Amino acid sequence: MYHDAVSLRIVEADLDDARHAEALVEIIDDYAREPGGQAAPLSEEAKAKMVPGLRATPNASVLLAFEGDTAVGAAVLLWSFSTFAGRRMVNVHDLAARSGHRGKGVGTALLVETERLARERDCCKVTLEVQDVNEGAKRLYGSLGFASFESPTWFLTRRL
């Protein structure tokens, strides 16, 4: 799966572990700087609040992808419930690989593990959103069977 000779290991992050917490913030900040993110670094406030906020969110979990001892990717998952299916579901809120590790299977490995966990927890679906300009992510998601509904669904935001 991972295209380099070094094996990739996926773990559920322990956000009380400073190494895991720091790696998550660095990976998400790296992604935020890209056009598919927000094309700007995270604010200092966002970086400071990320880990405490995730720790305080009982339906959130984080997967980290490691190459040796270095975290090279992350998935932030939000577990929810589908009223239409009467079963749990999971949303991939963030999926990111460090810039030097993109296109090497990190995102694939994180999504495969997400799906494994979702099936283990009897989820009916895995959802995610992608910005239209993020061509690499759209190719990845399509290759793993993610597709739009027959009728387009809008993802709307009202900033507070």
Most confident of 83-97, 119-133, 136-150: 83-97
- According to the model, what pLDDT value does residue 5 have? 37
Structure-token pair, residue 7: 């094996």
In the predicted structure, residue 19 carries a pLDDT above the cut 80: yes
- According to the model, what pLDDT value does residue 1 have? 44
Percentage with pLDDT > 90 across the chain: 68
Looking at per-residue pLDDT, the higher value among 144 and 50 belongs to 50
- According to the model, what pLDDT value does residue 153 have? 73
Contact at 8 Å (CB) between 27 and 13? no
Domains of the chain, earliest start first:
8-143 (3.40.630.30)
Task: Give the separation between CA 80 and CA 75, rounded to whole angstroms.
Answer: 16
**Burial (0-12, 13-18, 19+ Cβ within 10 Å), 158:** exposed
Task: Give the separation between CA 143 and CA 16, rounded to whole angstroms.
Answer: 34
Q: Which is nearest to 37 in space by CA: 109, 94, 116, 91?
A: 94
- According to the model, what pLDDT value does residue 102 have? 87
Contact at 8 Å (CB) between 32 and 41? yes
Terminal Cα distance for the chain, rounded: 41
- According to the model, what pLDDT value does residue 154 have? 74
pLDDT in tens, 93-127: 999 999 889 889 999 999 999 999 999 999 999 98
Contact at 8 Å (CB) between 15 and 55? yes
**Strand (E) or helix (H) holding 80:** strand 70-82
Query: Kind of pairing, strands 70-82 and 123-128?
Result: unpaired
- According to the model, what pLDDT value does residue 2 have? 43
Structure-token pair, residue 83: 């009223």
Please, which pLDDT band fits residue 33 given cuts at 50, 70 and 90? very high
Please, which pLDDT band fits residue 129 given cuts at 50, 70 and 90? confident
In the predicted structure, residue 3 carries a pLDDT above the cut 50: no
